[in-house]
Structure 1
Amino acid sequence: MDKKNFTIGALLLVAAFALLFFGPRPAPQAPVPEAPAPKAAPGEPAGTAGSTTTAASPATPAAAATPPNTMLANVHRDAADARVVKLENDYISARFTDFGGAVRDVAFKKYAAVLDHPDPYVFNLLHEDPLLAFTDYPGLGRTTRYELVSSSATEVVFRHVLDGKVEVTRRYRLTREEEKGGDPYRIHHETTFRNLGGSTLPLGKASLSVGTAGLMDAADVGQYLNIVSSNGSDTQFIERSELEGGGIGSIVGAGRQAVPLLEKPGNVAWAGAKNQFFTSIYTPDKPAVGVAARRIELPPFPNSQHPNIGMSGAARFDLPVLAPNASASLTGLLYVGPQEYRRLARFQANEDRVLPYTQYFFNRIFLSGYVAPLQNILLNMTHNWVGNWGVAVILMTLILKVVSLPFTIAASRSAKKMAKLQPELQVIREKYKDNPQKQQQATMELFKAKKINPLGGCIPILITFPLFIGFFAMLQCTAELRLQPFLWARDLAAPDTVGHLFGIPWLPINIMPILMGATMVIQMRLTPTPSVDNVQMKMMKFMPYIFTLFCYGFSCALALYSTINGLFTIGQQLVINRMKDPEETVPATASGPAGRPVKNVTPGKKHK
């Protein structure tokens, strides 16, 4: 395509990359507070499925030094004598506490906490409340000790009598894949209220915690840290910035005010807490009536001076009025696990929309909500075939380039036509340099006479944008890529840093983005250059370097995609530059007007 159209496309890409440039940095490379699985305290048995232990709080000394902040929630610690019951299968190890009668945390056996370390990632390890604990119902919250009624390999039951009036029984069971709605990462929950009195008892409203989500590492700025909910069709992402205040309006003193708690009423089919790769999702059998979100100050990351602010959320329910000796239950399914699209897509309430494919306006206008899921499925199918995630990303990139090839050829041919037209366009510019209206009119007449669409180099490229924007969005939050090695990269979900310039920690040497920048420079030199505008030429000259800076901190998977895309584009451009347009092909027999052959007459010699 020509430089003018390349500029339009490049600026659109800059807008997309800008969202990601200021977004999260991928998976952790060093231990983080939420990640390591808790170890048994000295003298504490490791515990087996269905076993109970008396567990000390996880050792996180930094939390004690966290200054109190009324705008932020604080990390809650279980009492030293809390009884903990563990239920586990091949995928998770869920720990339940008798304080609050709820899910203390969940460890993922298939996902490590950090690179080269066997401990699993633990969700909700540091939290404001245990998962599904009552957050605002007096006498039933996280500080209330429930009686442990029973426990087995797959089920645990807690009970508490509130003020001698209502009996609260909380039952949790690991689900099986063969049952309806079952999944190894899902826990069935049931809380039953029974009126013990002789009079009618209104239960009022109650909120259940949907968990606490923390940043993935010290470089994560929280772009994908959300309390998320859905009414079954539309998904609502509550971002941390909505509670922090500020905004553009703060420049003129009209910014948002920081709030300690953000409540959003409405029909809620499911709600959860999430970070870039992992999530909790509670899907009640009867919809909730709202969600609430808070920020929580977590212990800082090692060797980091930046505050570590997570998010905790809750779903609010209307409870019934109980007749004497009557009972009512609040039931649902709690998913705590990785954001695997294929797994979440099997659920009945569109829980797969927890993935941020439609979180931002830019993704929505380019239909990422439709394109990215299909690409995720295809990426997983490709991985199942080749057995390597890096190779799968490469093959997917090539598939996208092949699909978009007809549009690329159309754009390149249009660019070549525009390049040939430049001398005539320059004449028009000089002739009507003092009359822009005449200049534009003459230019359009020339385009019409030559049968050239001035947007012919841009429109075909715009058609392919949903493919590449969707793929880009999909790679950002694909949990399967986390901690997967490829070539020299140790983690496809993190930058492929091989060292640091002069040993300075904030000057990493990332190979893939450098290769990507090199391919962009070569691609620019191969692209037809019809424009002679100096400002535009200078901007185009520096565009590859700007893109390289934007992408320098991207994960290896994203940089690999961009690099392979650039290499394939170079190959395409080399072939296209050697292709002749149909109208350029000279027929074997030249024809004159009306298609009649032109007679080849050799001038006769002059006779003296």
Structure 2
Amino acid sequence: MNKNTLIGLLVIGVILFGFSWYNNKQYTERLQQQQRQDSIAMARAPKPAALPGGEALAQGQLSPDSAALTGTEPAPSVLGSVYDSQLRGEEKFYTLENDLFILTFSNKGGRIAAVELKDYKKYDGSPLMLFQNETHGIEGRTMQGGRFNLNLFAPEQINTADFYFSPRMISDTSIAFRLYADSASYLEYLYTVRPDNYLMDMKVDLSHFRGKIVPNQPDVTLAWSMISPQQEKGFDNENNYTTIAYKYPGETSIEELGMSTGTKEEDITTKVQWVAFKQQFFSSILVAKDNFSAADLKFNTFKPTDSNIKDFSALLTLPYSPATESYDLQFYFGPNKFSVLKKYGDLEFQKLVPLGWWIIGWINRYVVIPVFDFLGSYIASFGIVILILTVLIKLLIFPLTYKSYLSTAKMRLLKPDIDKLNEKYPKKEDAMKKQQAMMQLYKAAGVNPMGGCLPLLIQFPILIAMFRFFPASIELRGKSFLWADDLSSYDSIWTFPDGFSIPFYGDHVSLFALLMAVSLFIVSKINYAQSAGMSSQQMPGMKFMMLYLMPVLLLVWFNNYSAGLCYYYLLANIITMGQTFAFRYMVDDKKLHAQMVENTKKPVKKSKWQMRLEEMQRQQEALRKQQQQQRGGKR
């Protein structure tokens, strides 16, 4: 490209920019002049008559909610007389219900104003509302419990949440709300409730409204938000599981904004299949049949002294073209129960239940949940169910536990021989020889030095699986056992005076957590005595960590956790103590030591690893002798 070509392109660019700027300025001036003329005409116009499909709307004040819904102040626009009439009115409510929930609709914005789940109650016994039609002051703004808004140009920019829709009750399971542009043009929200189902359908019908929407509008913005009330007893524990989740189309996993005690947001520029406002045990999910093209998600966390947990908001983009006739949406309002969510197939709602990743999730999904559900269908007391589940798990891993005990006992009996090797090879340069001699000793006696650790490592995923399962198990919600009134939340035998709280510990004393910590101390003391002296160099630090630090840390950590989880760990520790005493009775140290001595008399076949170790030792010894000879020659 030569110099003249570059100059020519630059001149053309300047001309195009100037032309575009001039046209835009002229268009703005004409639009302002037209707005002034329309404002004068609207002020002089008589009150409108009744709208088609609904009664005349009464005078009223504009709602301040549109700014909160869209995240910005709506652009000022001059609307036609029909639009203007629908900006004033009286808010009225309508209900649809099935066997599972009651939905309350408002003609203001044609939105779902409140959702009540019939089969559940709040921790205080009041009706469980996923969200409700109440206003809340947040950072100087006034916001409603549930909000829904479409932002589009028809032909002016409008926010549907500002308008009073005309309702049409179609049947006992369907209701429609219409926003009219004129006597024949309207936008319609059609809601349909399914029998005995937490999923409901919503159709945004644009087929009678397309002529009013600006044809070059690339998309429609949907703003959905709600305030999540506190449903459970403990604010901190519930807040840990309350967040926004979403799923990409075609994926089998979901994404989350994560845990936070403040504000968190994420801007997603790719397609999203659904967005969930997830609470600890309940979720409100919005699904787009043809996906959202983008999403801007955000939540704010209330203070622990408030009656709410989080303020959720989602700014979702729906693609639009002149051929678009409708948007098919679905809402799920229901529990985070794995068996219920699993019924919705490819939507992968069940991933909202935090069961853990990889092997931990596999254990919960295919072992713990089926057994738990089976036992729960026959046994009314979930305290007994947890007891039986704990016994079954302990029986399942019994061979590993027994093998770990045997390995520890063998290592303890070999302690005198290991001490002799330490005395025989006290120097650091003899470390390879000592290691080789120890391996020969282990091999001859038939002892695997890692035999006590590997079984424990195999059991570790089960411990973590239980840690994930109990706080997420809605089956425990509201179920009492002994002194605990709700196994899904913390139990409390004493609450501190108002305003007093111990950092990290809380304002109460959980007896199950306290008993769990005491049982862990006893188990650790037994294990320490069992393995005392095996590693004299490491045991002093291990003793402090095992006997004192771990029980105290878990006591502080678990004080605000699920009572069911603390109860499970308490039972597991008690059973472990019983197993240890049983093993001591079953295993005779003298016979075991005699068997080990007998093993040393048998010929030992060296492993490849041991052969490589011996070769490395020979090379090291030859190198050491060579260095000594070189130093002697220099002298």
Does the TM-score normalized on the shorter chain lie above 0.5? yes
The whole-number CA distance in structure 2 between the counterparts of 1:311 and 1:146 is: 26
Kindly provide the amino acid, as one letter, of the partner of residue 408 in structure 2. A
Q: Deviations over 1:260-301 (max 9, x none)?
A: x52113332222111211111223222222332222365x55
Matched ranges for 1:555-594 at <5 A = 555-580=562-587, 584=592
Say if 1:136 and 1:310 are closer, same or farther in 2 by CA, change over 3 A: farther
CA apart distance, 1:455: 1.7
The whole-number CA distance in structure 1 between the counterparts of 2:181 and 2:569 is: 59
The answer for the alignment partner of 1:279 in structure 2 is 283
Q: Deviations over 1:298-327 (max 9, x none)?
A: 5x55xx3x896614142624333125xxx6
Aligned length: 492
| Identical positions, percent | 20
Is the 8 Å Cα contact of residues 151 and 221 (structure 2) preserved in structure 1?
Answer: yes
Say if 1:129 and 1:169 are closer, same or farther in 2 by CA, change over 3 A: farther
CA apart distance, 1:233: 0.9
Matched ranges for 1:472-551 at <5 A = 472-500=467-495, 506-527=506-527, 528-529=530-531, 530-532=534-536, 533-542=539-548, 543-551=550-558
Kindly provide the amino acid, as one letter, of the partner of residue 345 in structure 1. K
Say if 1:433 and 1:290 are closer, same or farther in 2 by CA, change over 3 A: farther
CA apart distance, 1:241: 4.0
Structure 1, unaligned runs of 5 or more:
1-51, 55-63, 178-182, 245-258, 358-362, 596-608
The answer for the alignment partner of 2:607 in structure 1 is none
Say if 1:448 and 1:291 are closer, same or farther in 2 by CA, change over 3 A: farther
The answer for the alignment partner of 2:200 in structure 1 is 187
Matched ranges for 1:193-342 at <5 A = 193-194=206-207, 195=209, 197=211, 201-203=215-217, 204-209=219-224, 211-215=226-230, 216=232, 217-220=234-237, 222-231=239-248, 232-239=251-258, 241=260, 244=263, 261-296=265-300, 298=302, 300=303, 304=305, 310-314=310-314, 316-323=316-323, 328-342=325-339
Say if 1:455 and 1:166 are closer, same or farther in 2 by CA, change over 3 A: farther
Say if 1:169 and 1:572 are closer, same or farther in 2 by CA, change over 3 A: same
The whole-number CA distance in structure 2 between the counterparts of 1:592 and 1:269 is: 66
Say if 1:592 and 1:131 are closer, same or farther in 2 by CA, change over 3 A: closer
Relative contact order: is structure 1 or structure 2 higher (C-alpha 8 Å, sep ≥ 6)? 1
Q: Deviations over 1:355-393 (max 9, x none)?
A: 122xxxxx3254325534642232122111111222212
CA apart distance, 1:84: 1.3
Moved more, 432-441 or 484-493: 432-441
Is the 8 Å Cα contact of residues 131 and 145 (structure 2) preserved in structure 1?
Answer: no
CA apart distance, 1:570: 1.1
CA apart distance, 1:473: 0.6
The whole-number CA distance in structure 1 between the counterparts of 2:185 and 2:105 is: 22
The answer for the alignment partner of 1:355 in structure 2 is 353
Provide the aligned C-alpha RMSD in A: 3.8
Larger radius of gyration: 2
SS of the equivalent of 1:377 reads helix
Kindly provide the amino acid, as one letter, of the partner of residue 555 in structure 1. S
SS of the equivalent of 1:512 reads helix
Say if 1:591 and 1:397 are closer, same or farther in 2 by CA, change over 3 A: closer
Say if 1:452 and 1:144 are closer, same or farther in 2 by CA, change over 3 A: farther
Say if 1:592 and 1:499 are closer, same or farther in 2 by CA, change over 3 A: closer
The whole-number CA distance in structure 1 between the counterparts of 2:565 and 2:416 is: 40
Q: Deviations over 1:434-474 (max 9, x none)?
A: 41733444433433333322221121122222223222211
SS of the equivalent of 1:347 reads helix
TM-score (norm 1): 0.72
Q: Deviations over 1:140-187 (max 9, x none)?
A: 44323221122543221101135899631101111124xxxxx1x221
Q: 1:98 aligns with which of 85, 104, 107?
A: 107
CA apart distance, 1:228: 0.5
The whole-number CA distance in structure 2 between the counterparts of 1:188 and 1:130 is: 21
TM-score (norm 2): 0.69
The whole-number CA distance in structure 1 between the counterparts of 2:436 and 2:602 is: 31
Q: Does 1:452 align with 2:447?
A: yes
Q: Deviations over 1:88-112 (max 9, x none)?
A: 2232111111222121121112111
The whole-number CA distance in structure 1 between the counterparts of 2:507 and 2:184 is: 64
The answer for the alignment partner of 1:379 in structure 2 is 372
Is the 8 Å Cα contact of residues 156 and 172 (structure 1) preserved in structure 2?
Answer: yes
SS of the equivalent of 1:173 reads strand
Kindly provide the amino acid, as one letter, of the partner of residue 271 in structure 1. V
